[in-house]
Amino acid sequence: MTALSLRMSPTPEQVLRALDRLGPSAPAKIRERFVITPPLEPAETLDRLGAATSAAMEGLNALRDRICGGDLREMSRLCRAAPSEYDLVALQPWQDWSTIARPDVVTSGGRPVVVEINGDSPAGLFSLHDALAATQADLLAELGIHVEAEPPRAMRALIETLPLTPGVDRVAVCYWRHEILDAPPAWSYGSFVKALNEHGIDAFHCPLEDLDIDRRGLHHHGDPVTVVYRYFESPDEGREDELRLLRTVFDRAREGLVRVVTGYCGEILASKLSLALLSDDALLAELPPDLAGRLRAHVPWTRVVEPGGTTYFGERISLPDFALAHRRRLLIKPVRGHAGLGITVGAEVGEEEWAAALKAALAAGSEQALAVVQEVHEPDTSPVRFSDADGVVTSVTTRSVDGVFVLDSRPTAVLRRYAVHPGGTVNINPRSGYAPSPVWWQAPGSLG
């Protein structure tokens, strides 16, 4: 991994002028940890990351086709999805898992390892990626630094992949109404709509409940809606009103009256259990040897925390005993968790806290409350320079994780997240505090 070296340090005023591009409504956490020197990587780095994500996506397709006979409902059961999801996953017209996904990949000892699939609907950050890249470009230009590298454009790739047609499509970026009852809509919604508009796409955001649905299709304030961009997760258990609405939207999609993106099938991959399937020795034995070998190389050993035996690279073990004995190389996380909530890293807690986390996971009262135990791959370190909200620059060498934007199975861009919080946790997530930066793809001889 490389980082751009500046011949001069920007002043706080220069940094703050660049940050103004993000707009006054941008979350404070973005302004507080702004990467001023974007990482430069050769195209071969994207190929290596793509090899890891492609193995995971191919593995999911192979599990669906070889183990589940192509039946998405069976795949849902294999992933222990919520009962309400069994029918929903088959209602929407099929879109591949990787129509839109942002797997998290750590590079450990030079080897890329997929630690999260992130195939569910909010796994975008496309507009954040592009906004940060544009802000970095502004700052470099003000400093008079020329870099022979094209700032990456995630939104353009997304629009071309879906595809969305300027002058034809009207896109409703939708979420559930209950998400905004106690707070204003998330900045990400407005940022995403703004980016679509800048690319010529007529778009707006609103709760899904605000759309008018009849036999003619979907409308908003009397104007037709041709695309629903699904920026929401599965309805919570018991939300029959949301389930009925979602079924109605999918009915119109099957009738060709509206398109719904992203694919709902990705929702079952929101479960961390998908990585347990991709590292299961018995299931890998059913896959082509080449694919099984690539999965072993790029997917960490992961198992559902439950009583009984399993395998550790072919060796029979008692899972509870193994997890208790090997605390320092493992972590526990909920199958339906997000943003780092509920994760316990064995090397960062004492024996008593680890034993308590393991006991709680073993006592899970429902399929959706399950947890997985996963082998930790220590991320490699690299240098990063970032500013705080006052524009003051700090330089550190730290761990990072790459969010790889995958569109139709192709890696198209990377958002790197640097662990800059003094706590130093291996779990680089929003709660731990990180500095995000697009990776810039280096042209030959481009260290400007």
Per-residue model confidence as pLDDT tens digits over 68-119: 998 888 888 888 887 777 778 877 777 777 677 889 999 999 999 999 888 7
Query: Percentage of the chain surpassing pLDDT 90?
Result: 56
- pLDDT for 428 beyond 80: no
- pLDDT for 120 equals 67
pLDDT of 288 higher than 70: yes
Q: Is the pLDDT of residue 231 over 80?
A: yes
Q: How far apart are CA 253 and CA 371, in angstroms?
A: 34
Is pLDDT larger for residue 234 or for residue 214? Answer: 214
H helix runs in 266-399, sequence order: 273-278, 281-284, 289-298, 319-325, 351-362
Q: What is the 8-class DSSP label of residue 391?
A: -
Q: Specify the 3-state DSSP secondary structure of 80.
A: coil
pLDDT at 444: 55
User: How many other C-beta atoms are found inside a 10 Å radius of the C-beta of residue 82?
Assistant: 19
Q: Which residue has the tokens 């929003």?
A: 430
Q: How confident is the model at residue 445 (pLDDT cuts 50, 70, 90)?
A: very low
Instruction: Kindly report, residue by residue over 141-151, the tens digit of the pLDDT.
Output: 888 888 878 77
Pairing of strands 309-312, 302-304: unpaired
Average pLDDT, the chain: 87
Query: In one letter, which amino acid is 192?
Result: F
SS3 of residue 157 by DSSP: helix
pLDDT of 275 higher than 80: yes
Query: ∠ CA 18-20-22 to the nearest 5 degrees?
Result: 100
The pLDDT value recorded for residue 207 is 96
Percent of the chain exceeding pLDDT 70 equals 91
Looking at 18-22, 124-128, 212-216, 420-424, which range is the least confident one? 420-424
Residue 5 pLDDT: 57
- In sequence order, the β-bridge partners of residue 173 are 205, 229
pLDDT at 161 over 50: yes
Instruction: Catalogue all structural domains in the chain, each as residue range(s) with its CATH number.
Output: 301-375 (3.30.1490)
Does residue 2 surpass a pLDDT of 60? no
Query: How do residues 313-356 score in pLDDT, each as one tens digit?
Result: 889 999 999 999 999 999 999 887 666 667 899 999 999 999 99
Alpha carbons 145 and 129: distance in angstroms, whole number: 21
Take residue 306 and report the two structure tokens written for it.
């439950």
In the prediction, which pLDDT does 1 show? 45
